[in-house]
Amino acid sequence: MDFLNAIFVQPFADMAAAPDFLLQVVWEGLVGGVLYALIALGFVLIYKSSRIFNFAQGIMVVFAALTLVGLHEKGVPALLALPLTLLVMLVLAVAIERAVLRPLVNQPDIILFMATIGITLFLIGFGEIIFGGENKVMITRELMIPTDSITMDLFGGFVSIEEKDLTSVIGSVLLVAALLLFLNRTKTGRAIRALGDDHQAALSVGISLSTIWVVVWFIAGVIALATGIAWGARAGVSFALEVIAYKALPVLMLGGLESVMGAIIGGLAIGILEKLFEVYWGQPLMGGNTEAWFAYVLALIVLLFRPQGLFGERIIERV
Amino acid sequence: MLYRTAGQFKTSYAADHALFPVRQDAILLGVVLVFAFVVFPLTASEFAFRALLIPVLIYALAALGLNILTGYAGQLSLGTGAFMGVGAYACYKLITLFPEMNIVVAIALSGFFSASVGALFGLPSLRIKGFYLAIATLAAQFFLVWLFQKWAWLYNYSASGAIHVPNISMFGITVAGPRAAAITQYYFVLGIVCVVTFFAINITRGRVGRMWKAVRDMDIAAELVGINLMRAKLTAFFVSSYIVGISGALFVFLWRGAAEANLFDIPLSFRVLFIAIIGGLGSILGNYLGAILIVALPVIISGVPAMLGIRVASATVEHLNVMIIGALIITFLIVEPHGLARFWAVIREKLILWPFPH
């Protein structure tokens, strides 16, 4: 009875008793969720346009953030380092397309997936040689991101919001809006979506596969940079950041591999739910650190009922 | 000339079904076995045993387990490391709870634990396919590693959270633990690997193996010709996790000697997957070739600067290593996506005709 009480009653009683704390937890979850959604978006874009499950998205986040900080350490002013980093990501996109994707066109999915793991290893080694393995501090102040915190009095308590978190949420919303505009309103964006629908048909109306791939990988690189800045501001920049790629995978499962909307909603849902679960169930009942697997188990349960995720394209199989 | 198959006629079904219908294949295998059982043990140094021979065998065994699931039954799994962990922890608990138990029995039993866990996490495969399934197996990976850390009973409440292998002897010879000799451990691992490989070759040739291949090639079609998909997929998960679990037990007991939960984390899963893919999916031989490549490469690469007389900081060598392995994986995938086993198949085809052009 005590046990059932601890699972089904106590957590909700705690939530009702301290709504300000609940709000704080939800906010923390939301900020995490926005970042998951961003990484998942990088995955979705590449998957949609090339059917490649890009495992390297996580290391691209690290690589972009490290390049930015590394350039700044070399004495490049922050506002110049930003476009330079974008240039590096463009070069990376071209290099990946030339050296890896083009020779592997038309191979089975798993081979391309393994190739992106190869890219991941390569970038880890390359990044560590150039930038070193130690933890670096994100140049938040130099990029003119406010770092104070706002405290609001609510429900007889207070909720404290870090300004850099607020910035990252607003920035992400703007980035996603820009991306959606790009995908839906420009010629290149339409070409990307056409490629996602049908490779052969897209090729036959004159869409260049290799150009689009470079564009898509570059956009993924831009998203990676944005994620890297936001996450780096919270936790510092190091190769440990790579694990956030693993956190984005259940988001993909939940939202569906092909759905931009799914990535965003799935990311926010997982971010908030895993925080709530950790605080109200994980820590009191299971010794904490449930964030490592909660998202996966949640996604697994959803998948049992909807094998294509919440927003994925319906899987139709023909024999 | 060397590999001429002409003149080897089969006069009975039994001869046609033989494990090695071509005489030269059997002879070649015999030569490899002589090297494995006689030549290497006589010549190898302690370092070679610990850094090359034993890990190659253990990784090959793990890759064999994964290959049965991914290469034969077509179910992509990224949770191999965690299943190895289940085998290792199960073996540790068996050994510490029943100290008089023979270690071979303990290892064989621990496989059943990982097999059950594997079949449990294989259940989603009945509804989920492709990359969705791959991510679903990651759920097993993260959940199990978390469990290894939090469930103190598993590591007997030791303060460090690590498991340490006690000295275990069998028929008066110490086979595992700090006092065991490398050569004994090598023979022990080699014996188990040979038995499991023999079993795996036969199961993949038989009815079950064909069932798996049909499911891999197209599961709906397989279902239409009367294959029970649930049985096929779950047996694949069961057998695969059994072998992976055994390799995990060997990994800790006969090689590492001690283990923490994060040893079984995702890099281990990926390393095994690399071995299976670079070796060749859907091939038994490939696992060994892949394991030799992936285990030997780092050892060779870190030896190169010393040979050339260049002094490089060990951290740099390590990073270079990672980078080169990443590049090599991509190169191998581009040059031969079907893996090293296909290389050997091509060479063998050429040898059969050689020296004639047709």
Residue B333 domain-assigned (yes or no): yes
Token pair, residue A235, equals 């936790």
Residue A318 — very low, low, confident or very high, per pLDDT cuts 50/70/90?
A: low
Does the residue B74 lie in any domain?
yes
The answer for B169, left when phi > 0, alpha when psi is -120 to 50, beta otherwise, is beta
Radius of gyration of chain B (CA): 21
Residue B9 lies in a domain: no
In a domain, B346, yes or no: yes
Which residues of B are less than 8 Å from A300 in CB distance? Answer: 124, 136, 139
Instruction: Please give the Cα distance from B354 to B357 (Å, whole number).
Output: 7
pLDDT at B312: 67
Q: Provide the CB-side half-sphere exposure for B129 (13 A, CA).
A: 14
Say if B227 is an interface residue toward chain A (CB within 8 Å): no
| pLDDT attached to residue A153 | 66
pLDDT tens digits along A193-250: 888 777 788 888 888 888 888 998 999 899 888 888 888 877 777 777 777 777 788 8
pLDDT at A156: 64
| B281 contact A CB<8A | yes
B98 or A258: whose pLDDT is higher? B98
- If DSSP codes are grouped into helix, strand and coil, which group holds residue B337? coil
Task: Check CB contact under 8 Å for B135 and A286.
Answer: no
Q: Answer whether residue B235 is part of any domain.
A: yes
> Which of A254-258, A274-278, B227-231, B312-316 shows the lowest per-residue confidence on average (mean pLDDT)?
B312-316
Q: Rounded to an integer, what distance in angstroms lies between the CA atom of residue A287 and that of residue A60?
A: 33
**pLDDT, position A168:** 80
Q: Are strands B173-176 and B168-170 parallel, antiparallel or unpaired?
A: antiparallel
> Residue A141: its pLDDT value, please?
67
Distance from CA of B146 to the nearest CA of A (A): 7
* Tally of structural domains, chain B: 1
Q: Which DSSP helix (H) or strand (E) runs through B252?
A: none
Domains in chain A: ranges and CATH = 2-305 (1.10.3470)
- Residues A92 and A221: their CA atoms lie apart, in Å, by 8
DSSP per position, A33-101:
HHHHHHHHHHHHHHHHHH----TTHHHHHHHHHHHHHHHHHTT--HHHHHHHHHHHHHHHHHHHIIIII
Residue B23 lies in a domain: no
CB contact under 8 A, B150 and A100: no
The answer to whether residue B26 sits within a structural domain is no
What pLDDT, on a 0 to 100 scale, did the predictor assign at position A199? Answer: 78
Query: pLDDT tens, position by position, for chain B (358 residues)?
Result: 677 777 788 888 888 888 887 888 888 888 888 888 888 888 888 888 888 889 999 999 999 999 999 889 988 888 899 999 999 999 999 988 888 888 899 999 999 999 999 998 888 888 887 777 887 888 888 889 888 888 888 888 887 878 888 888 778 777 777 777 888 889 889 999 999 999 999 999 889 999 999 998 888 899 899 999 999 999 999 999 999 999 999 999 888 888 888 888 888 998 898 889 888 888 899 999 999 988 888 787 777 777 776 766 777 777 888 888 888 888 888 888 888 888 888 888 888 888 877 7
Through-space distance between the first and last CA atoms of chain A, rounded to whole angstroms:
52
3-class SS of residue A158:
strand
Give yes or no for a contact between B2 and B350, defined as CB atoms under 8 angstroms apart.
no
User: Taking the mean position of all CA atoms in its chain, how far away is CA A18?
Assistant: 31
Range of B326's domain?
47-353
CA atoms within 13 A of residue A74's CA, in its CB half-sphere: 12
Q: What's the CATH code of the domain at B319?
A: 1.10.3470
Q: Considering only alpha carbons, which residue of chain B is nearest residue A121?
A: B326
Mean pLDDT across chain A: 81
Distance CA A27, CA A34 (A): 11
User: Given this model, what pLDDT does residue A155 score?
Assistant: 65
B204: tokens are: 């993949």
- Quick check: B274 and A114 CB within 8 A? yes
Q: Determine how many CB atoms are found less than 10 A away from the CB of residue B332.
A: 21
- Phi first, then psi, for residue B314 (nearest 5°) are -65, -30
- B337 close contact with A: CB closer than 8 A: yes
**Which residue's structure tokens are 């010549």?**
B43
- Dist. CA B268–CA B248, nearest whole Å: 11
Q: Which of B135, B219, B273 to substitute to test the interface with A, most A CBs within 10 Å?
A: B135
Reference B332, options B279, B253, B255, B287; nearest CA is B279
- pLDDT tens column, A9-58: 777 777 777 777 777 888 888 888 888 888 888 888 888 877 788 888 88
Domain membership of residue B245 (yes or no) is yes
Measure CB to CB from residue A119 to each of B270, B315, B326 and give the nearest one: B326
> Mind giving me the DSSP string for B59-89?
HHHHHHHHHIIIIIS----S-HHHHHHHHHH
Distance of residue A300 Cα from the nearest chain B Cα, in angstroms: 6
Q: How far is A304 from chain B (nearest CA, A)?
A: 7
Q: Which of A88, A203, A173 is nearest to A194 (CA)?
A: A203
